[in-house]
Amino acid sequence: MSMIRYNPWDIFDAVERAFVPQGVQNSAEKPANWVPVVDIREEEDKFVISADIPGVKPDDIDIQTENKVLTLKGERNIENKEEKEGYIRRERISGSFERSFRLPDVADLENIEAKYENGELHITVPKRKEAAARKIEVKH
């Protein structure tokens, strides 16, 4: 297994560029407090976006697509009144989060699925059938 850091100057990055995060878009809305970190991987028939969102109920995660931009957002509230008094260390992030991705043309927007497991959100974006890799015979 090898992990490759995103490199905007790579000339072979057509698909990667398609996945560049869009940041917070709606200036009318209150900006998000934090941005979840993600891994994105490509498989033959799909892309998988994995976001670290520990300690959030699946119902509190909202995933939408609009104009080929996928936005995941939600709220993580870890504040608890009883606990508030005695804090001696607070590093865990709380509040609203948001992150958007521009999906590549091959993305099948109708069949996107999401699963929450062990604090990670996995969004599966299938590729459209006609866009899947095909072997082309060379006639001779």
Partner 1 sequence: MSENKHIEAQDQENSAMQARGEPESVMLPPVDIYEDANGFTLLADLPGVTRERLNIQVDGNDLTIEGEAAIDMPENMDALYADVASTRYQRRFTLSSELATDDIRAEMKDGVLTLRMPKRAELQPRKIEVSAG
**Positions that interact with partner 1 (CB under 8 A):** 1-6, 15-16, 19, 37-43, 47, 50, 52-56, 78, 83, 85-93, 116, 118-120
Select from 124, 100, 126, 123 the least CA-distant residue to 51. 123
Nearest to partner 1 of 69, 78 (CB atom)? 78
In whole angstroms, the minimum distance from the beta carbon of 20 to partner 1 comes to 8
- CB 21 within 8 Å of CB 84: no
In whole angstroms, the minimum distance from the beta carbon of 49 to partner 1 comes to 9
Nearest to partner 1 of 40, 131 (CB atom)? 40
Say if residue 5 is exposed, middle or buried (CB neighbours under 10 Å; 0-12, 13-18, 19+): exposed
Residue 35, both tokens: 């941005």
Nearest to partner 1 of 3, 138 (CB atom)? 3
In whole angstroms, the minimum distance from the beta carbon of 139 to partner 1 comes to 29
Place of tokens 């509190």: 60
